[in-house]
Amino acid sequence: MHYSKLRISSDATSKLRAMRQRMRITPNLLCRYALMSSLEDGPIGNAPLPDEDGQEFNASTLTGEQTQLFLAAISVVEEETSNKTPSNARVLELLRCHIHRGIGSLSVRLRSPADLFLRKADR
């Protein structure tokens, strides 16, 4: 499946802005980490949808060459609870949800890029 543009929540946007300084990478790449980190935390189910008042990304910058695999990973994770493959439109909603949730938790957890890859026990 394809999408061309995606708008994230205003809350996530302002958190991204704050994180940018610490993490030294652009918001689109931070979103990829946020997505993966949220997926690792498990399905999001029927959580309320975040608003769409924040930054807008092109698909090519947001998920880039790996778009298909990112979206597939969302389907796989979410099927756990609903037992059926989400529709295309739903996958995009879930993409927004996961990015929103991921940014929320990363913004608390990350002090430096190193924190992305080291377990909590290592600290």
Partner 1 sequence: MLIRNIVLEDFGLYAGRQVIDVQPTRGARKARPIILVGGKNGAGKTSLLEAVRLTLYGKLALGERTSQSAYEDYLRSRVHTGPSAGGLGRASVGIEFEFAESGVVHIYEVSRAWTVRGNVVQESMDLRKNGETVTVVPRNEWQNFLHELLPVGVSQLFFFDGEKITEIAEDSTDGHQLSAAIRSLLGIDLVGRLRTDLGLYLSRNQRSDVGSNQELETILAERDKIDEEVRSLSDQRADLQTQLDGQRRESAKAQQRFTVGGGEVALRRSSLTAERSALDHERTTLLAQFKEGSSGLWPWLVAPTLVARLQLALAKAGAADQDAASRLQKRFNAWQKKADAATQRRWTQEHKDDFQALLEATFKASDAPAAPRALTAVGNATQILTQASAQQSIVQGFAERLRTLEERIGEIDTSLARVDETTASYLLDELRGAEQSYGQTQGRLKVLQESLDALHYRRATLDKSREKLLISQAEDRRGTRQTELASRIAASLAAYETALIASKVRALEVAFVDCFNRLARKGDLVREVRISADNFQATLIGKDGAEIPRVRLSAGEKQVFAIAILWALAKTSGRSLPVIIDTPLARLDSDHRAAILERYLPEVSHQVVVLSTDTEVDVDMVGQLSDFVAQTHHLQYLPDERRTAVATGYFKSRKGASSALL
**Could you list the residues that contact partner 1 (CB under 8 A)?**
24-25, 29, 32-33, 35-37, 39-40, 64, 66, 68-69, 71-73, 75-77, 79, 83-85, 112-114, 116-118
Q: How far is the CB of 10 from partner 1 (least distance, A)?
A: 23
Q: How far is the CB of 105 from partner 1 (least distance, A)?
A: 11
Q: Which candidate, 1, 6, 4, places its Cα nearest to that of 93?
A: 6
Closer of 59 and 72 to partner 1 (Cβ): 72
Q: Please report how many Cα atoms fall inside a 13 Å half-sphere around the Cα of residue 121, on the Cβ side.
A: 0
Residue 70 and residue 48: Cα distance in Å, rounded? 21
Identify the three-state secondary structure at position 58: strand
Closer of 51 and 73 to partner 1 (Cβ): 73
Closer of 41 and 56 to partner 1 (Cβ): 41
Task: Count the neighbouring beta carbons within 10 Å of the beta carbon of residue 12.
Answer: 26
